[in-house]
Amino acid sequence: MSKAVNITSHLLHGPWAGKHEGCWKSRFPNVWLAVLQLCTTLTLLSRGWLMFRWDSHIRGLCWNEELLTPWIEQYTDSSWDDYALHSDPYITSSIEWLGITLMIISGLCLLLRVPKLAWLKWSLVPAFLIMTLDAFGNLADKDYDAAMAMEYALQVGTPLALLMALTRHKWNRTWGWIVSLLAASCFLGHGLYAAGHFPLPWSFQTMSMTILRVDEEQAKAFLYLAGVLDFIVAAAILIPALRRPALYYMILWGGVTSLARVLAHYNPALKYNGLDPWVAEMLVRSSHWLLPLLILALLPSYTKQSNRRDDSRDE
């Protein structure tokens, strides 16, 4: 029990706490980092569950005949037909174990600031690689649409965002700019689909029609407006004078679009009210609103750093 209390204490106070631990200002870096740990945990846990329970786009890569045939024929004694006949159980087992791995790492994320367990932060590297492989499989299934790669940027980058925060003590400005670029990419990718530059996903339309009680044309008009706003905030987050309102919008819209997965698919007549896999689909998008929230929390630090640079120039 005492170990659990100590771990919880480290999550909130950690090695960066000031001398006055009761002061919010001194605890802020540790609360901020605890939220980033939670965001990473939710992202990896839900993606791991989706892979374990509901399969992964990695399967599409494993069934890509054009891609794999040269490798199979060169490095094994089998043909593509032999591979196709016998490989499916091994593919299924591999995907399940990759999902289990992500779920295990998601739990480790909560322990990364316990002093004796700090080395566990390097588990975020294989987590990033698994997330990248799954995203690449989805990208390949969508004929390598650029918008799909952009949409996944924030989710895939979440483990690296935590790793960078853990390995750098003066990370505020660099971290903020890198994650701002990832957020801009995510919202730009969503906007390209919503505005119709790429084929509008039917899932976008059905969620809009179900939640808003509108017809198909009204749903398309709503999504087009949302897409235009996504374009605006993707650019605005990179402009210092416009960054704050852009982040407010990202927090709101990122949270709403995540929650929409549950609201649109809730059905009391189905097992678990139809919420599996949709709770996981909501949680895997936690980074879409939590990371903008963390960028927003760092803005006062940006201002202080800019003021210090201006003062040094004046001197």
Q: Is 124 part of a structural domain of the chain?
A: no
Q: Is 278 part of a structural domain of the chain?
A: yes
Show the DSSP H helices in the chain as ranges. 2-12, 24-54, 58-62, 65-75, 80-86, 88-108, 124-141, 146-167, 172-194, 202-212, 216-236, 243-265, 278-283, 287-314
Q: Is 137 part of a structural domain of the chain?
A: no
* Predicted confidence (pLDDT) per residue in 264-295, tens digit: 999 999 999 999 999 999 999 999 999 999 99
Q: Is 268 part of a structural domain of the chain?
A: yes
Residue 212 CA: distances (Å) to CA of 204, 206, 245: 12, 10, 25
Q: Is 238 part of a structural domain of the chain?
A: yes
3-state class (DSSP) for residue 136: helix
* Predicted confidence (pLDDT) per residue in 48-87, tens digit: 999 999 999 999 999 999 989 999 988 888 899 999 999 9
Q: How would residue 230 be classed by pLDDT, with cut points 50, 70 and 90?
A: very high
Task: Give the Cβ contact number of residue 306 at 10 Å.
Answer: 12
199 vs 168: CA distance, rounded Å: 41
Domain that holds residue 304: 170-308
pTM above 0.85, yes or no: yes
Q: Is 107 part of a structural domain of the chain?
A: no
Q: Which amino acid is at 96?
A: E
Q: Is 274 part of a structural domain of the chain?
A: yes
pLDDT > 50? residue 261: yes
Q: Is 272 left (phi over 0), alpha (psi -120 to 50) or beta?
A: left
The total number of structural domains that make up the chain: 1
Q: Is 214 part of a structural domain of the chain?
A: yes
Residue 150 CA: distances (Å) to CA of 64, 136, 187: 23, 11, 8
Q: How would residue 154 be classed by pLDDT, with cut points 50, 70 and 90?
A: very high
